[in-house]
Amino acid sequence: MKTALPSRTAPVVLAAPSGTGKTTIAHALVDSSDDFVFSVSATTRLPRPGERHGEAYEFVSREEFQRMIAKGHLAEWAEVHGNLYGTPVRSLERARELGKYAILDIDVQGARQIRERIPEAVLIFILPPSAEALRERLSVRGTEAPEQVRHRLLTAHRELDEAPRFDYVVVNEDLESAVAGVRTLVEAERHRTTRALDVSAEVGRIQREIERVLDRA
Ligand code: 5GP
């Protein structure tokens, strides 16, 4: 089933390897402009301290999640780190009714499904400025053991392969310019003709850096 959304309010998908800062960008974007509304996903993951139902996520049981899939209530869904995550169709419908862009903070598997289902969606891949910055951000979270950091770096390496299939990439050098970058792209999308950045070269560069970081670890 295809959801016919007018391009004026096409969903905007932000995907990136863990530690790239995409969730911060997504929330800063929504806070900075009335044009955007955060798409609240459903998840089977348990809430972290401070996370309230209906804000970061709708926290549901596996059974409830399976019911949502069966009823066609999810526009996309994927298993990430052992938990299920999905975008409720009604999140997208609500944004469309409001004439706003839904901001989807989802993983690359979900982005692929949105691309198929909603061809006019704007897919933006957030790149870390370097492997070292990524490693630092993953480490300073403090919650990740060195082996976890290594595992996430390997996952990042794999996920970076997806970047060239996105419409755009934004390098998260600093929050303000990354948010400004996404805003500009959404605006420019209405006038898009070609892609400007050599995504493959940039992805290859960061993958080579990750390989060097992994060799050193
Ligand atoms: P976290 O549990 O750290 O909040 O999120 C883990 C990963 O799941 C992140 O990459 C996040 O973007 C992704 N994610 C969050 N919501 C969704 C969703 O609705 N669909 C998909 N496919 N991924 C999601």
DSSP conformation class of 119 = T
Q: Is the CB of 86 under 6 A from ligand 1?
A: yes
> Where residue 199 falls among pLDDT bands split at 50, 70, 90?
low
* Ligand 1 atom closest to the CA of 113, numbered from 1: 22
**Amino acid in the structure at residue 171:** V
Give the three-class secondary structure for 38: strand
Q: Is the CB of 88 under 6 A from ligand 1?
A: no
| CA-closest residue to ligand 1 atom 23 | 106
**Amino acid in the structure at residue 151:** H
pLDDT 10s digits, 44-73: 999 988 999 999 999 999 999 999 999 999
- Phi then psi for 63, rounded to 5 degrees? -60, -45
DSSP conformation class of 102 = E
pLDDT 10s digits, 113-133: 999 999 889 999 999 999 999
The pLDDT > 90 percentage for the chain reads 70
For residue 98, count other CB atoms closer than 10 A to its CB: 13
| Pair of tokens at residue 15 | 């995907």
Q: Is the CB of 78 under 6 A from ligand 1?
A: yes
> Where residue 197 falls among pLDDT bands split at 50, 70, 90?
very low
Fold of 12-184: Rossmann fold (3.40.50)
Among 33, 34, 71, 31, residue whose Cα is nearest residue 55: 31
pTM of the model: 0.85
CA of 91 to the centre of ligand 1 (A): 15
> Where residue 200 falls among pLDDT bands split at 50, 70, 90?
confident
Dump the DSSP string for 49-99. Answer: TT--BTTTEEE--HHHHHHHHHTT-EEEEEEETTEEEEEEHHHHHHHHHHT
Are residues 20 and 127 in contact, defined by beta-carbon separation less than 8 angstroms?
Answer: yes
d(CA 14, CA 105): 5
d(CA 159, CA 25): 19
pLDDT of amino acid 142: 65
Among 84-88, 152-156, 194-198, which is the least confidently predicted range? Answer: 194-198
Give the three-class secondary structure for 126: strand
* Substitution candidate for ligand 1 out of 23, 80, 126, 134 with most atoms within 8 A of CB: 80
